[in-house]
């Protein structure tokens, strides 16, 4: 009788283990380990808090790699050391892959931390004085966004019909208050808050430096071409693991994570109205 009970318990245990193993099998049996890259700050945190838990629940093993520049993540993706990356908007991706002849594609839209203008010596842009210094990003993509933000608020005017990713200070046609534009490496911009009269800081670097988005004098409302996307190699876009990744950015879990950890961020179109 004891042996029968023991055999029954062991059989039940084995069945439970088998069921548990089945429950955590990855949807793509041909690729169960994934490597994602992201820039330091909120892009990395979005993957860590809102995406990786979903994929691990589905049985994938996910490794995150942190980058501090805007060049290496796409090169690493194209070379195969990454399976996907999250750090750029679609305008930058399209320009970069064309310039470098890389076969990459946007897979899903993520959330976006808006660029903001910060100041410790001025309470509004209206307090701008002649000759005030504005620090802004020196990389072409973010520089274009910064100049567009200044134009929206009437501080400068920029040439029309030019490539938005090629725009530079020389393309400013009007500067009524003769503000001084000082390009700085994006990661260093938070350090200029207080040293310059105004600092235009991309959202990811603002968050990484502990700046509160709501403390900005103004925040951009980025058009879709300036909103963050997940990129993969084109050949991988339809594979099961990539589709699981894309679905994770449209899930209720993703929305709840944004509500909890990323208030004030621009939502992807898939979550509009939710």
Q: What is the mean pLDDT of the chain?
A: 88
Q: What is the pLDDT of residues 187-219, one digit of tens each?
A: 999 999 999 999 999 987 898 889 988 899 999
- Give the integer Cα–Cα distance in Å for 11 and 17: 10
pLDDT at 12 over 70: no
Cα distances (angstroms) measured from residue 24 to each of 19, 27, 56, 244: 9, 9, 8, 14
Place of tokens 């790699």: 65
CB environment 84-93: b (16+ within 10 A), e (fewer) = bbbbbbbbbb
Question: What is the average per-residue pLDDT within 213-228?
Answer: 88
Place of tokens 């059989």: 11
Q: Count Cβ atoms below 10 Å from residue 185 Cβ, excluding itself.
A: 12
pLDDT at 15 over 50: no
pLDDT > 90 in the chain, percent: 66
Q: Identify the sign of the CA torsion 158, 160, 149, 261.
A: negative
Q: What is the pLDDT of residues 243-268, one digit of tens each?
A: 999 999 999 999 999 999 988 788 88
């Amino acid at each position: 009788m004891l042996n029968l009970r023991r055999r029954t318990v062991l059989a039940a245990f084995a069945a439970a283990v088998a069921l548990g193993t089945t429950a955590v099998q990855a949807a793509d049996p041909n690729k169960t380990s994934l490597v994602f890259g992201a820039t330091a700050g909120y892009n990395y945190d979005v993957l860590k808090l809102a995406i990786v838990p979903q994929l691990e629940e589905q049985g994938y093993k996910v490794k995150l790699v942190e980058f501090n520049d805007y060049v290496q993540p796409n090169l690493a993706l194209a070379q195969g050391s990454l399976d996907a990356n999250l750090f750029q908007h679609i305008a930058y991706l399209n320009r970069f892959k064309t310039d470098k002849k890389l076969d990459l594609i946007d897979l899903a839209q993520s959330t976006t931390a808006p660029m903001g203008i910060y100041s410790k010596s001025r309470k509004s842009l209206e307090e701008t004085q002649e000759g005030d210094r504005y620090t802004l990003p020196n990389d072409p993509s973010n520089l274009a966004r910064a100049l567009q933000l200044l134009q929206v608020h009437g501080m400068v005017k920029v040439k029309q019909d030019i490539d938005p990713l090629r725009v530079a200070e020389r393309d400013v046609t009007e500067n009524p208050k003769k503000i001084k534009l000082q390009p700085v490496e994006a990661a260093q911009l938070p350090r200029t808050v207080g040293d310059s009269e105004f600092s235009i800081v991309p959202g990811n670097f603002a968050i990484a430096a502990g700046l509160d988005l709501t403390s900005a004098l103004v925040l951009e409302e980025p058009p879709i071409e300036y909103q963050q996307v997940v990129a993969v190699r084109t050949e991988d876009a339809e594979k099961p693991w990539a589709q699981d990744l894309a679905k994770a950015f449209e899930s209720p879990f993703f929305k709840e994570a944004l509500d909890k950890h990323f208030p004030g961020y621009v939502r992807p179109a898939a979550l509009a109205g939710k």
